[in-house]
Amino acid sequence: MLSYRHAFHAGNHADVLKHWMFTLVLDYFNQKDKPYWVIDTHAGAGLYRLDSSVANKTAEYLDGILRLQQSEAPEAFKVYLEAVAAANQDQTKLYPGSPWLASHLINPVDKLRLFELHPADAALLEQQFSAQKRQITIQPKDGFEGIKACLPPPTKRGIVLIDPPYEVKDDYSRVVNCIKDSLKRFATGTYLIWYPRLQRPEPQQMIDKLRSLDTDYLHVTLDVQKPAADGFGMHGSGMWVINPPWTLRQSLEPHLDWLAKTLAQDTTARAHCEGRQR
């Protein structure tokens, strides 16, 4: 399916959780003077206009990044919020997706590999990063398949972000299969998997399968409201991180309650963190 466009949801509560954690991992990798690769399997368009009619059809950013920007956020959000601000130096109301955040934070010796199947979004990526072709490669293809040629990266250090739209049920099983295959190729990579919190069995089934893998992991969930009475819609989201940086949990866990309160859409909002690190 090629109907999904992230522009309708840019800057929402799920983006805040995903991109905050993503920038924390990028910042950690930057602490070592060794090159690394970033691979984004479902890159999207890279930058989104929050003043567009598309974004304001749902205006989800009002209860997401805008709340964070208007709050006194803890120091742990500094890298993320500074990156968002950097995308708006021309005073345009923009929200940076994961490709832009990665391109902004990686070092000149690092590489960024972007996969995007939707032709319109792939074209936007090409236009956006046309001047950085030596460092950033864009492929208009299925990231679940494209990632295989990228692993292991020559640097032996790498971050993989996997966040499909989950429009079709197969995406959940494809995530698990992708991770299993990727770990065979690159067992020491750091993998970040985003998923929606829904009243359907597939998300929990995916998490159960990921938990059964023999890996270190960190699992963070953020619910901003109670599930809808009719069973439809996303009430929160989660991030599953395989081989997380050893500092990641201590960097984010103390601030999860604050984040849940800041982005809460009703009184049931909450966040949770659990993991296994040996």
Alpha-carbon span 118 to 112, nearest angstrom: 19
* Torsion sign across C-alpha atoms 211, 155, 117, 105: positive
Percent of the chain with pLDDT over 90: 84
Alpha-carbon span 198 to 7, nearest angstrom: 20
Q: Is residue 55 part of a domain?
A: yes
The helix (run of H) or strand (run of E) holding residue 158 is: strand 158-162
Q: Number of folded domains in the chain?
A: 1
Position with higher pLDDT, 230 vs 190: 190
* Torsion sign across C-alpha atoms 124, 20, 57, 175: positive
Q: Is residue 239 part of a domain?
A: yes
Cβ atoms of 273 and 223 closer than 8 Å: no
Lookup result for tokens 């890279």: 46
Q: Is residue 268 part of a domain?
A: yes
**For residue 126, what are the contacts with CB-CB under 8 A and spacing of at least 6?**
138
269 half-sphere exposure, CB direction, 13 A CA radius? 15
**What Å distances lie between residue 228 and 30, 88, 119, 164, 220, CA to CA?**
41, 35, 33, 23, 21
Q: pLDDT digits over 151-176, tens only?
A: 999 999 999 999 999 988 999 999 99
Average pLDDT of the chain is 94
Average pLDDT of the residues in 35-62: 91
pLDDT of 63 > 50? The answer is yes
Alpha-carbon span 186 to 12, nearest angstrom: 32
Q: Is residue 162 part of a domain?
A: yes
pLDDT band at 72 (very low <50, low <70, confident <90, very high): very high
What is the signed CA dihedral for 101, 106, 112, 115, rounded to 10 degrees? -10
CATH number of residue 32's parent domain: 3.40.50.150
Q: Is residue 176 part of a domain?
A: yes
pLDDT of 219 > 90? The answer is yes
Q: Is residue 67 part of a domain?
A: yes
Determine the pLDDT at residue 3.
46
Q: pLDDT digits over 75-131, tens only?
A: 999 999 999 999 988 767 999 999 999 999 999 999 999 999 999 999 999 999 998
Determine the pLDDT at residue 59.
86
Determine the pLDDT at residue 91.
65
Q: What pTM value is reported for the model?
A: 0.96
Q: pLDDT digits over 20-41, tens only?
A: 999 999 999 999 999 999 999 9
Q: Is residue 159 part of a domain?
A: yes
Task: State the catalytic residues.
Answer: 163
The helix (run of H) or strand (run of E) holding residue 161 is: strand 158-162
Q: Is residue 210 part of a domain?
A: yes
Name the nearest CA neighbour of 138 among 147, 152, 151, 126.
126
How many residues are there in the chain? 278
- Give the residues across from 101 on adjacent strands: none
Domain containing residue 106: 6-276
